[in-house]
Amino acid sequence: MNTSLVESWNGNPADMGPLYPFVGFEVPFFLVCVLFWVGYTVWQMKFERRTYETEEQDLAQGDHLSRNIEYREHS
């Protein structure tokens, strides 16, 4: 098993090209990274919306919001 194009560090360095593993599989790695980024962005937007909805509901109960502002005034 060899994940690299490098078989020895003792050859001619001027002939050495890419040193990273799995050369030739860059496009699949790129697609996975794009999916991760898109997935993260969608998740984050939903997470933020849910968080604000919950907080808004919480603050709308009784006098939570006015107590919060009063607490800040005195702290």
Partner 1 sequence: MDNELTSLTVIFTEFYYWVCVVLMFLIHVGFCLYEVGVSRRKNMMHTLMKNAMLIPLITVTFYFFGWWLYFAVQNGPGITGGLKAAAWALPWNELMGTHMGGKPYSSSITAGDALAWARINGVFWAAFLIFSWTAGSIISGAGVERIRSSAFWLFAVLAGSITWVVAAAWGWSADGWMVQVLGYHDAYASGVIHAICGGSALAILIHLGPRIGRFRSDGTARNFPPHNTWLVIIGLFLIYTGFWGFYAACNVPIWDIDADSARAFFSATTIYLTPTTLSAITFNFLMSLAGGLMAGYFISKGDPYWTFSGGLAGIITASAGNDLYHPLQAHLIGAFGVVCIYKIHHWVERRFQIDDAVGAVAVHGYAGFIGVVIAGFVLWGYPASPNPEYASVTPWGQLIGAVIMFFVLGFLPCYLLGALLKKLGVLRIPAAIELAGMDHRIEQQELDDALEIVEVEKEEAASMKGAG
Residues lying near partner 1 in the complex (CB under 8 A): 5, 13-20, 23-24, 26-27, 29-30, 33-34, 37, 41, 44-45, 48-49, 51-52, 55-56, 59-60, 65, 68-69, 72
Do residues 23 and 5 lie in contact, with contact meaning Cβ atoms separated by under 8 Å? yes
Rounded to a whole number of angstroms, the minimum distance from the CB of residue 72 to partner 1 is 6
- Closer to partner 1 by Cβ: residue 1 or 75: 75
Q: Residue 16 to residues 6, 11, 65, 74: CA-CA distances in angstroms? A: 8, 8, 65, 68
Do residues 34 and 26 lie in contact, with contact meaning Cβ atoms separated by under 8 Å? no
Amino acid at 4: S
Rounded to a whole number of angstroms, the minimum distance from the CB of residue 58 to partner 1 is 9
